[in-house]
Homo-oligomer: A and B are copies of this chain.
Amino acid sequence: MAVYTQVGAEEAAELLARYDVGDLVALKGIAEGVENSNYFVETTRSRYILTLYEKRVDPEDLPFFYALLGHLHAAGCKVPRFIDDRDGNWLQQLCGRPACLIEFLSGFSVSTPTAVQAQATGKALGDMHKALADFTMERPNSLGVAAFRPLAMRCGTDALDSISPGLSERIFAECDYVEAHWPVHLPVAAIHADLFPDNVLILDDRVSGLIDFYFACTDIRGYDLAVTHAAWSFSSDGADYHPEIGRALLSGYEQSHGSDRATRDAFPILARAACLRFLLTRCFDWINTPKSAIVTQKDPLAFLRRLDFYTDRFDKL
């Protein structure tokens, strides 16, 4: 998490002149998000995030994200809109990169969520799913169930086992299981797919923003709930399940979106798939990122421990 492309104030001011947003007052590179370059922009009128898309986001996906966030905003969900310039363009070129000006939302991500915050997040997720019921654009989930096995093969058996003995066998067995039992009958819709506490802004125990939609895609709606449950309800090393957080999250979700029997029944498999997804991408990053003091590597095994929990110890909802 760093700034990859340096944007000069002159370049930023020139870009802002195309928009009806006032004049530049402050510009700071911020260290967050997936592998994009992000700047905090203050103008005489308001505050924004200026994002330059680096290699990890495909510019062809940007229209999906633009439409999704516009749809959610129109429906009253708290998400950062892409800003249109005076000519209605929201996608720009800056320093040789695709770039967008995006609404800044107040609030901060909590590292140790409380039950009240988890309940508010579950409700915000449910509200988002309700608002997306009539959103028709589609984006395949490039990190969905069909991607797990190829990703495991790209990691390689030896490299996986070097992270933890026997890990590759466990992962391939889990791929078998998830592929065989995937609940294809469940409703599919646009989902966030990465709603970790990092991606939820909280203010006064209320959700002030859902952010970082760059993994958003079309997949089983209940899978989004399972990802969020796996992301929120454990100690960060995955060793301890926090049942009061898990319950609050689900209760908030059901308060907004209701509950259906089929999703409840499929929840353990959805949650196992969620764990496998993050286990695999973290293993891949672990294996392929040069070790350095600057990039903090996320522990893959934190999601193996969650997987163990959902496999052996999780009661039905």
Interface residues of A (CB under 8 A from B): 1-4, 6, 8-10, 12, 24-32, 40, 42, 106-112, 202-203, 290, 292, 294-296
- State whether B29 touches A32 (Cβ < 8 A): yes
Among B6, B12, B108, B111, which residue has its beta carbon within 8 angstroms of that of A26?
Answer: B108
Q: Which residue of B lies closest to A204 (CB)?
A: B23
CA of A9 to CA of B42 in the docked complex: distance in angstroms? 22
> Which of A4, A25, A112: most chain B CB closer than 10 A?
A25
A237 to chain B, nearest CB (A): 15
Copies in the complex: 2
- State whether B28 touches A2 (Cβ < 8 A): no
A138 to chain B, nearest CB (A): 32
- State whether A30 touches B29 (Cβ < 8 A): yes
CA of A290 to CA of B294 in the docked complex: distance in angstroms? 11
Known A110-B8, A112-B8; contact A28-B30, beta-carbon cutoff 8 A = yes
A223 to chain B, nearest CB (A): 27
Among B1, B202, B290, which residue has its beta carbon within 8 angstroms of that of A3?
Answer: B1
> Which of A31, A32, A111: most chain B CB closer than 10 A?
A31
Q: Which residue of B lies closest to A203 (CB)?
A: B25
Q: Which residue of B lies closest to A202 (CB)?
A: B9
Among B3, B12, B25, B290, which residue has its beta carbon within 8 angstroms of that of A107?
Answer: B25
